Amino acid sequence: MTIGEYFSSAYDTFRSQPVRTALTLVSIAIGIVAIVGAGSASTALERALTSEIVAAGSYTFLIQRMPSIITSGEQWRRYRRRPPITYAQGLEYKYRMEGTGALVALYSVTSAVTVRSGPQHTDPDVSLVGSDENFFPLRNYRLSLGRPLVSDDIAHSRMVAVIGNDVRADLFPDGSNPVGKEIEIRNQRYVIVGVLEPKGGVFGQSQDNLVIIPIPVFVRTYAEEWTYSISVFVRASSQAALEDLFDESIGVMRRIRGLRPEQENDFEIEMLASLADQLGSFMQFVGLFGAFCGGIALLAAGVGIMNIMLISVKERTREIGIRKAVGATVRSILWQFLIEAIVLSQVGALAGIAIGSLIGAILSHVAGVAFVIPFWWAVGSILVCTIVGVSFGAYPAWRAATLSPIEALRYE
């Protein structure tokens, strides 16, 4: 038989057993969907993290009260007992860093606020950010209208605000220029001085649903209501200066916080690149866990392949006997049934890759990250399915090839 005849025979076999074939294909596709979907999601999230690091600068770090990643409730309770980093401490750190070439931004965030302008208002899900003039370049914020906060706004505690594009759309649906108009947040009025360019969403959360006000106004107005702690965002002048600045910052913050030599730090200082590595490792774990679950499903699918092939061998025993009687070799029959198993697994793999890629695209859209076609995950899935087809199709193929032609012809 030629290769084309092998494939034609496989097609005829599957067409004659549509229900069993469909069930086996579904089981294979489920495993591949898990592998490709997890690979697509983890790859997309890793690239989103990398782009955020590139936007902020690779030689940046954060100083804050608690670490960004907390893995247990016990850790959270321990970190929660730390005293907050006050605005005065942040100002002292910023003052001591003058002359180092570092760019330092102080900021604090609270969420779930409602913003009003005349009869219009937002949902109570807007993030209110108190920051200074350095926050904009450090977070790579650009403006579509107006200006950012400047040093005079901070020094004089001006009641001004920069709004995100989502807030602008809610408050000014007619598309009018909001610069110079007033908004109200918790009975405090602010004049809009700028509108941020849209940044879209990351991990399902909009980056445009925010209002930025001068941090002294934020501290004065909201510090009594919220248990706040400011964060300090620092960018070194160069990669070479990063390590020295990092070590110096630890010493400066310890002195500002009044820690004795034997006391451990009561603040966290985290390299942004290291934080991205931690999150990237977690994303890889998620991808590998999805691949593991998919592998278990493929093992179950392999058993299904073996089952359907054994049934096929039994149902076609007389056909095998006739083929052997007219001169078919053991190798020819072995290849016929082995190719059927491989084709069955590959069709399931292609269906799974298509569905998994579609799910990955939908999840990427919902999370607000760019969709990445998981090429190597797809190639790996095809290879795995080939191995599954060969491994679980070998025994039925061997049984078919070694049937006695006389006994096969007698089979009813």
Q: For residues 203 and 39, which has the higher predicted lDDT (pLDDT)?
A: 39
Cα separation, 250 vs 268, whole angstroms? 9
Cα separation, 66 vs 81, whole angstroms? 10
Least confident of 49-58, 247-256, 326-335: 49-58
What is the pLDDT of the chain when averaged over all its residues? 80
Cα separation, 348 vs 209, whole angstroms? 43
For residues 399, 318, 341 and 10, what is the CA-based torsion angle, rounded to 10 degrees?
Answer: 160
Burial 39-53 (b: 16+ CB within 10 A, else e): bbbbbbbbbbbeebb
**CA distances in angstroms from 265 to 47, 64, 67, 215, 260, listed in the order given:** 32, 11, 12, 25, 10
**CA distances in angstroms from 36 to 285, 297, 314, 342, 373, listed in the order given:** 14, 13, 35, 20, 9
pLDDT at 226: 47
Residues 170/122, Cβ–Cβ less than 8 Å: yes
Residues 210/127, Cβ–Cβ less than 8 Å: yes
Q: Which tokens hold the place of 363?
A: 């999840």
Q: Which tokens hold the place of 139?
A: 């977070």
- Is the predicted pLDDT of residue 7 greater than 50, yes or no? yes
pLDDT at 412: 52
For the full predicted model, state whether its pTM sits above 0.75. Answer: no
Within its chain, how far is the Cα of 214 from the centroid?
Answer: 32
- Is the predicted pLDDT of residue 308 greater than 80, yes or no? no
- Is the predicted pLDDT of residue 21 greater than 60, yes or no? yes
Cα separation, 131 vs 107, whole angstroms? 4
Q: For residues 311 and 181, which has the higher predicted lDDT (pLDDT)?
A: 181
Strand-pairing partners, residue 188, are 185
Residues 216/157, Cβ–Cβ less than 8 Å: yes
Local structure of residue 197 (DSSP, 8 states): P
Residues 94/104, Cβ–Cβ less than 8 Å: yes
pLDDT at 53: 58
With a CB cutoff of 8 Å and minimum separation 6, the contacts of 274 are: none
**pLDDT, mean of residues 248-253:** 93
- Is the predicted pLDDT of residue 272 greater than 50, yes or no? yes
For residues 290, 32, 47 and 363, what is the CA-based torsion angle, rounded to 10 degrees?
Answer: -90
Indicate the SS3 state at residue 402: coil
Cα separation, 176 vs 117, whole angstroms? 13
Least confident of 143-147, 165-169, 253-257, 379-383: 379-383
Q: 169 falls in which pLDDT band (50, 70, 90)?
A: very high
Percent of the chain with pLDDT over 90: 29
Cα separation, 298 vs 127, whole angstroms? 45
**pLDDT, mean of residues 217-232:** 78
Find the largest Cα–Cα distance for the chain: 102
Q: For residues 249 and 9, which has the higher predicted lDDT (pLDDT)?
A: 249
Model confidence pLDDT, tens digit, residues 57-93: 568 889 999 887 766 777 778 888 888 899 999 999 9
User: Residue 38: is it exposed, middle or buried by C-beta count within 10 angstroms (0-12/13-18/19+)?
Assistant: buried
- Is the predicted pLDDT of residue 16 greater than 70, yes or no? no
Indicate the SS3 state at residue 3: helix
List phi, psi (to 5°) of 227. Answer: -75, 95
**pLDDT, mean of residues 207-233:** 84
Strand-pairing partners, residue 270, are 62
Cα separation, 119 vs 230, whole angstroms? 33
- In the block, tokens 């070694």 appear at 402
With a CB cutoff of 8 Å and minimum separation 6, the contacts of 81 are: none
Cα separation, 53 vs 148, whole angstroms? 22
pLDDT at 225: 47
Cα separation, 126 vs 113, whole angstroms? 5
Q: Which tokens hold the place of 53?
A: 């690091």
Q: Which tokens hold the place of 309?
A: 């092939």
Q: For residues 43 and 270, which has the higher predicted lDDT (pLDDT)?
A: 270
pLDDT at 72: 72
Classify strands 210-214 and 126-131 as parallel, antiparallel or unpaired.
parallel
The amino acid at residue 57 is G
Q: For residues 408 and 200, which has the higher predicted lDDT (pLDDT)?
A: 200
Cα separation, 390 vs 399, whole angstroms? 14
